[in-house]
Structure 1
Amino acid sequence: MEKMDSASIVSIFNSDDSAPEVLQAMKDISSLSGVLSDLGSHTFYQSPMEILRFLRIIQLINEEALGLDEKIENSETLYYRYRNRYSDPEFPTKKKIEQIVNILAKYNWISKHSRLIKMRDVGKRMMDVLIRLANDSLAYHMHDDIGRSLFQARRDAEISEAYDDQGISGGNKIASMIKNVADAIQLMEERELEMLADRNALPQLELIHELMKDLEGKLQERFRQFQTMEESLVLTELMQRGTAALAKGTNLSLGMITKYLKFTTMQNTPLSSTLNPEKVREFIVKMFDPPIESDVPNIYQLLSFMEQNQYEGEAMDGLWIPVKFAAPIPALAIDEALTYMEEYEPLTENIDEIDVDPEFETNVISQTDLDELMRETNWLLTKNMIETSKIEEFLEQHEETPLEEVIIKATSSEWSDAVNALTAISALVGNKKVTVEKSNQKNKLPTFNRNWEWMNDEDRVNIVRKRNTGQEKRNSE
């Protein structure tokens, strides 16, 4: 694409005030305000449904001008076409449609002939503006608070591509894009606990992360359009702000996804009976100020998961804190305790010690047996962290089965169980207990009721096969 100089970009703010094209552009805006003002005086804008009916009417005129529908002879033709096209419980009357047609003709949006209503150029552009504004608003409001800011940031990038790259000013879209991303990041930080506590928030977090990566690419592409030294100096501050905001947002969304996935397995993860005090101390220290991309939860996030009412009376207003108050101690018990402490005498019986000479034994093990022992040890350590018993029990009965059938029948149709099952299958594959192979035949699997979808639908028919380790070992020998 040919790069245009910033001074040559078409903008009303850089043009001569007395230029005839500037005056004509302002007349177009004046016609838009005139149409809206006259419609308001006829109470067409008293409710959202009235506005929607007006947009439907100009859409019918727009479709006829584009050759997508038959000619419109007069307002009566427009009235019957509206009734045939839309299922409106309260159709606009013929008089109301005639009033709208007269207003559009008054401001030269359309021209009325004896047997034809024809759209003019200014009407085509102004109607496109209104319809596009309504569609953009609809797409904007279909997202939540965070999604709206990210959607607007993406629209800013797309408008910059459609206008700025073609030499027509679209406004300060790079600055607007960065501001919308910063607003989305602020909302993510404020709603982090809410999203982590929501068991169905993983798809939304993944979508936010993908939008962040997409916006990062679009922002870098915008910056590459400005190649001269002077333009790059003007954009230096914007580049720094945008890069910092996107890096923070990407790390924050990735960190939330990591924490979310870890929390789903935390409840079902078996704990060893031996605790490492140093690791526990390190974990507690990191909880006070974890890095953004860290999967270590802070204390507020950890306690927020205890407010989901898994136990009766747990989901009360306020913060969940495990506190037990001691019962009042009677005076007699205190007196007995003091007496016992004052009169306590430790036992001082002699301890008989027997000296025994230590006996040493030498065990010799081969390299092959040592390797086998190490593999088995690693496998036991893996099983302590990942629950694989359900998958193993299922494969004992079915030596080879499609991947989706293993996940659904061995666990359940919930997405959290699917994540845990895939983690268990990965562990079994890594320790050479099972293999996952592409299916040579397109198996027709039954339809399972599940609350999740495959990113690649072909993966569902992959064959999970239990490996015969004894036979493989004899073949290798």
Structure 2
Amino acid sequence: MDQPLISIFQANDSNPEVLQSLRDIASLSGVLSDLGSQNAFQTPSEILRFLKIIQLINEEALGLDDPIENAETVYYRYRNRYKDPEPPTKKKIEQIVNVLVKYNWISKQSRQLKMRDTGKRMMDALIRLANDSLAYYMQDDIGRSLFQARRDAELSEAYDDHGISGGNKIASMIRNVENAIQILKERELEMLADRNALPQLEVIHQLMQELEIKLQERFRLFQTFEESLVLSHFMHKGTAVLAEGTNLSLGMINKYLKFTHMQKTPLSSTIQPEKVRSFITQMYDPPLDSDVPNVYQLFSFMEQGQYEEEEIDGLWMPVKFAAPIPHTAIDEAVHYLETYEPLSEPIEETEEELEYIEEIISEEDIDELMGETHWMLTKSMIETEVIESYLQEHDETPMEQLVIEATSSQWSDAVNAITAIAALVGNKKITITKPTGKVQVPEYERRWEWMNRDDGSNIIKKRNSREKQSE
């Protein structure tokens, strides 16, 4: 190819042609955005109605139908052309026409809606995209990749051959064939076990052959030395991929036919060990185009259950049997077991002397340990942490202030607090004394009263270590 391909990625960003082409993309985005905001693309049926409307406008522009005067003409033509149980309303079609006029796809003249160049290109692109998608999804999972590979070759012919870049279609074609081969390998066992898979295998093989021819045609266009150097990697890779795909599809057809032929072949009453050994050896790694199945393929085909108990699960694995043992070796082994005497050294037992340690503890220390034990037992049953935490910050405080501020003014919390105070007093952690003078106790909102009003003014003080030792 003498001239470089026209590509938006190779052109100068400031060229007027580049800016104009990008404005076309912006107009397409604007149409889709405006119609999307009007809920024109909420469901697939709404999208199909939009495509039908632009198809009517496109046919009129090509001279295949009568002129369109206004949106009302589009409405009645839509009703007559398509059997839609829920056709768009006049208002909906009017909205679509106004959006197309806004983005310069069509123009409103005195007595006619006229298609503009931008609108024709954008409408053609949308219709081709919809048709391509429909043809793609009409294939099975293997056929989709092969269909896309063939479309890549056709697009390369339509664009690259005429000096316009189609977008790395050769690489895309090779990638799609690789995907098809991968899926074909994954579904190989399934297709061999399917009695109706032969027509599909033949179609796949035919597509592989067509793609191989098209790929070679693509490569022949690059005859110059420089171009062949650039595409040498794709040439080698594409040739290898297509060869693998063709051999794989051909091998699957051969295996399928071989299985069918084997089922119709009468069984012989004699077995030829050499042929059986040769068949098993070939099954370990058969070529792609071989009619010899591997173990997995054979069991997959047997799952059809053509014969009784043929579909029973099984496993093939190579086994090497040991050589027979002579009788002399057996006699020696028996004699060895009968006369065997294990050699063992006497066990030497060393007696360890017990050492007793005398530890003297005073009565006061015992009382202290017992007190700590009793206190830990008390804390496990009565929660005293909140009272102790409050007294860490306040050395002494009136009882009512301690009860309410450490817990709350609720009656249940007050009872728990009094219980905790009693436990702390009993374990000599705090002291309760009568006030020597008048004590100012804050007023709290509470729904309970002291049995003795003076109890709330009693001073609670945390005991220090000296007071404990003096006692």
CA distance in 2, matches of 1:180, 1:83: 41
Secondary structure (helix, strand or coil) at the match of 1:267 reads: helix
CA distance in 2, matches of 1:21, 1:38: 26
The corresponding residue for 1:146 is: 142
CA distance in 2, matches of 1:265, 1:54: 54
The corresponding residue for 2:85 is: 89
Work out whether residues 152 and 177 of structure 1, in 8 Å CA contact, stay in contact via their aligned partners in 2. yes
The corresponding residue for 2:119 is: 123
Work out whether residues 149 and 184 of structure 1, in 8 Å CA contact, stay in contact via their aligned partners in 2. yes
Amino acid at match of 1:265: H
Whether 2:182 is the aligned partner of 1:186: answer yes
The corresponding residue for 2:245 is: 249
CA distance in 2, matches of 1:159, 1:227: 20
Structure 1 residues 50-85: Cα deviation after superposition (integer angstroms, max 9, x where no partner) = 000000000000000000000111111100100100
Secondary structure (helix, strand or coil) at the match of 1:320 reads: coil
- The Cα of 1:313 is off from its aligned counterpart by 8.2
Change in Cα spacing, 1:189 to 1:322, as seen in structure 2 (3 Å) is closer
CA distance in 2, matches of 1:100, 1:298: 60
Of 271, 288, 292, which aligns to 1:292?
288
Whether 2:32 is the aligned partner of 1:4: answer no
The corresponding residue for 1:280 is: 276
The corresponding residue for 2:314 is: 321
CA distance in 1, matches of 2:78, 2:287: 58
Secondary structure (helix, strand or coil) at the match of 1:163 reads: helix
Structure 1 residues 376-407: Cα deviation after superposition (integer angstroms, max 9, x where no partner) = xxxxxxxxxxxxxxxxxxxxxxxxxxxxxxxx
CA distance in 2, matches of 1:85, 1:314: 57
The corresponding residue for 1:260 is: 256
- The Cα of 1:157 is off from its aligned counterpart by 0.5
Q: Which moved more, 1:273-282 or 1:136-145?
A: 273-282
Paired residues for 1:102-181 under 5 Å: 102-181=98-177
The corresponding residue for 1:99 is: 95
The corresponding residue for 1:227 is: 223
The corresponding residue for 2:427 is: none
- The Cα of 1:180 is off from its aligned counterpart by 0.4
- The Cα of 1:41 is off from its aligned counterpart by 0.2
The TM-score, its normalising length taken from structure 2, stands at: 0.65
**Structure 2, gaps ≥5 residues long:** 317-471
CA distance in 2, matches of 1:111, 1:298: 67
The corresponding residue for 1:338 is: none
Whether 2:56 is the aligned partner of 1:60: answer yes
CA distance in 2, matches of 1:260, 1:306: 12
Structure 1 residues 342-375: Cα deviation after superposition (integer angstroms, max 9, x where no partner) = xxxxxxxxxxxxxxxxxxxxxxxxxxxxxxxxxx
CA distance in 2, matches of 1:245, 1:322: 32
- The Cα of 1:321 is off from its aligned counterpart by 2.2
Amino acid at match of 2:48: L
Q: Which has the larger radius of gyration?
A: 2
Work out whether residues 4 and 165 of structure 1, in 8 Å CA contact, stay in contact via their aligned partners in 2. no
Amino acid at match of 1:40: G
Secondary structure (helix, strand or coil) at the match of 2:253 reads: helix
CA distance in 2, matches of 1:124, 1:320: 61
Amino acid at match of 1:202: L
CA distance in 2, matches of 1:102, 1:248: 54
CA distance in 2, matches of 1:134, 1:313: 50
RMSD: 1.5
Amino acid at match of 1:156: D
CA distance in 2, matches of 1:195, 1:101: 50
- The Cα of 1:310 is off from its aligned counterpart by 4.4
- The Cα of 1:312 is off from its aligned counterpart by 7.8
Of 256, 269, 272, which aligns to 2:265?
269
Amino acid at match of 1:280: V
CA distance in 1, matches of 2:246, 2:44: 38
The TM-score, its normalising length taken from structure 1, stands at: 0.65
Secondary structure (helix, strand or coil) at the match of 2:104 reads: coil
Whether 2:20 is the aligned partner of 1:24: answer yes
Amino acid at match of 1:129: A
Q: Percent same amino acid at aligned positions?
A: 75
Amino acid at match of 1:167: G
Q: Which moved more, 1:102-111 or 1:114-123?
A: 114-123
Paired residues for 1:283-432 under 5 Å: 283-310=279-306, 320-321=313-314
Q: Which runs of 4+ in 1 moved over 6 A?
A: 311-315
Amino acid at match of 1:193: L
CA distance in 2, matches of 1:13, 1:291: 44
CA distance in 2, matches of 1:144, 1:96: 37
- The Cα of 1:236 is off from its aligned counterpart by 0.7
Amino acid at match of 1:239: M
- The Cα of 1:277 is off from its aligned counterpart by 0.4
Secondary structure (helix, strand or coil) at the match of 1:15 reads: coil
Amino acid at match of 2:65: D
Change in Cα spacing, 1:83 to 1:286, as seen in structure 2 (3 Å) is same
**Structure 1, gaps ≥5 residues long:** 324-477
Change in Cα spacing, 1:59 to 1:263, as seen in structure 2 (3 Å) is same
Amino acid at match of 2:2: M
Secondary structure (helix, strand or coil) at the match of 2:107 reads: strand
Work out whether residues 304 and 320 of structure 1, in 8 Å CA contact, stay in contact via their aligned partners in 2. no
Amino acid at match of 1:26: L
Structure 1 residues 255-283: Cα deviation after superposition (integer angstroms, max 9, x where no partner) = 00001111112112012222210110110
The corresponding residue for 1:210 is: 206
CA distance in 1, matches of 2:202, 2:300: 21
Work out whether residues 202 and 260 of structure 1, in 8 Å CA contact, stay in contact via their aligned partners in 2. yes
Equivalent pairs, count: 316
Secondary structure (helix, strand or coil) at the match of 2:69 reads: coil
Whether 2:27 is the aligned partner of 1:37: answer no
